[in-house]
A and B are shown apart, each in its own frame.
Chain A
Amino acid sequence: MTSRLSALPVLFVRLQRPCPLVQNRGFKRWLRPTLQTLKKRKERMDPEPLPRRSSFTDWNYKSELFAFGKRLGEDLNLDVLRTAVTTREFVLNEIDQQKAVGIEIDIQMNDNSKMILEGSEIINNYSLNFLRSAFPKLPEEGVIAVQTYLTCEENLSTLAKNLGVADLMLTPEHPVEAVTLSNGFKALVAAISESSGIERANLFVRDFVMTQLVGKNINELWEVNDPLNLLSSILQRDGKQPFEPRIVAETGRNTILANYQVGLYVNKELIGLGCGESIKIATEVAARDALRELFDTTESMKPVNFDVESLPQTFANFSIQDWSSKNVEKLMKSSR
């Protein structure tokens, strides 16, 4: 702080009493105005930039890289890892700096732009395979929506930040932006694949990306637009009778706090139950509930099994347009 303050033009602090040369004890009446002036000067300046962790004296980049790999339980090649956390801008910046200083350009640094693409492909492939085998009854649209959520920039950057990638990133920007962090995570997956094989990379994606599904409601990540029409078309494809909505319970019909419970019946059998403040909403929720039952994404569904070592290459789930329980069961039997 003192070095920054000394760069300012000198302002004379008017002191209450001239400071005597003789050291004396007692009330330090000069202290308050001095501190006030210092504070005012500080406020007038731009906000102080956050210090980089790497600028501290207790920082050893090599040890940090080593510990990072050990922390994740991976046997990483440190050179590959270093490349994975080096951004293109950083390398360009280094070249510029060396040019400016006038040194011969001798940069043999690789950046992570290639690894980002590789890693992204690994994450996308594995997550699609994993979701398809975990939710065989979920339509492909739902699988894509869940996958998009899991691999979005926000999610991946949070992962990277909480795994300690932010400190290691070699990038001119500070604090590190979400895009850079999420790219860093993708490159990290590629680095694992390069050092210990694609299998380890897949397990890494399973352990960190896929486990983010825990405690998430699939129906929150993917919502059907027109549940009533979708349900009736699915019933038609299954060769069943059309559903019949019936009020199962209601209360406070003539109040603004009315509540209806509507059940959907096919052949006198309940297929979905919904409630809401109006019959229309309750019917819609009942249809969603019936779909939830068909797609096996109910509240009481089994928790996702993350204890899978390897996944077979699966085919795409059925799309909403040609989803029917007969088709899905056939597909599930054939895959077993």
Chain B
Amino acid sequence: MRNIFERVKQWNTLTRIWHLYDAKWQDPFDSAKVIQKYLKGLHKPIYHPLADCGDHVVVINCKEIAMRGDEWRKRAYFHHTGYAGGGTYTLAWELHDKNPLMIMKKAVYRSMKGNLQRRYTMERLHLYAEENVPQDIIENISSVIPQLRDVPMRLDRMPEDQVKGYPKIWDLPKDYVVR
């Protein structure tokens, strides 16, 4: 008979943690590099390729990801139906309009090596377009992955009094015509 302490010790060490990642204003490709480490369990000191020690990651606000430069317009996603002439190129903004989860999903999928384990690892990734996540998923979460970049405050969403009280380094000349 195995000792109860030894049994729960193993359970505790190899337990699957549920992490939360807020993708608001985050680069999906940089985020994918971080998220895949958590999915595989690479962040754990006990990591071993044969040990099944990957964690779950719940990504929220996928709709509000950010891309640098003019990537929204220039990045194209290729898809081929398999039939002759079935190839299509979809621009990133178009794809994001159709499915706000797809860019994040593809980014994480591509950040990992194409081996037999990849699809099972992807099963542990839970993507949500907005902040409202089902309650049974929220209850599982016990850890938060910090964001890579600060979320900037948008001027049009700032309260009026805060905008007025904000320090001005310089002012527009009085004769400046705002178009």
Contacts and interface: CB of A to CB of B under 8 A. Distances in A.
Q: Do chains A and B touch in the complex (CB under 8 A)?
A: yes
5 nearest A-B residue pairs (beta carbon): A259-B15, A251-B142, A275-B12, A220-B3, A254-B136
Interface in A264-315: 274-277, 281-282, 284-285, 288-289, 299
Contacts of A276: 8, 11
A152 B18 CA distance: 47
B142 A275 contact: no
A252 B8 contact: no
B96 interface: no
Contacts of B171: none
A118 interface: no
Nearest to B9: A275
Contact of A285 (B8, B137, B140): B8
Interface residues of B, number: 20
A217 B3 contact: yes
Contact of B3 (A219, A249, A275, A277): A219
A251 B18 contact: yes
Contacts, number: 59
A11 interface: no
Contacts of B4: 223, 284-285, 288
A250 interface: yes
Interface in B1-53: 3-6, 8-9, 11-12, 15-18
Contacts of A257: 15-16
Contacts of A275: 8-9, 11-12
A219 B5 contact: yes
B37 to A, nearest CB: 18
Contact of A281 (B6, B8, B15, B141): B8
Interface in B139-179: 139-143
Contacts of B18: 251-252
A251 B5 contact: no
B11 to A, nearest CB: 6
Nearest to B16: A257
B46 to A, nearest CB: 15
A284 B5 CA distance: 10
B136 A277 contact: no
Interface string A244-256: 0000011111110
A255 B3 contact: no
Contact of B15 (A217, A252, A274, A289): A252
A252 B15 CA distance: 9
26 contacts: A217-B5, A217-B6, A219-B3, A219-B5, A220-B6, A223-B3, A250-B142, A251-B141, A251-B142, A252-B15, A252-B140, A253-B139, A253-B140, A254-B139, A255-B16, A255-B140, A257-B15, A261-B12, A276-B8, A276-B11, A277-B8, A282-B8, A285-B4, A285-B5, A289-B5, A299-B5
Contacts of A274: 8
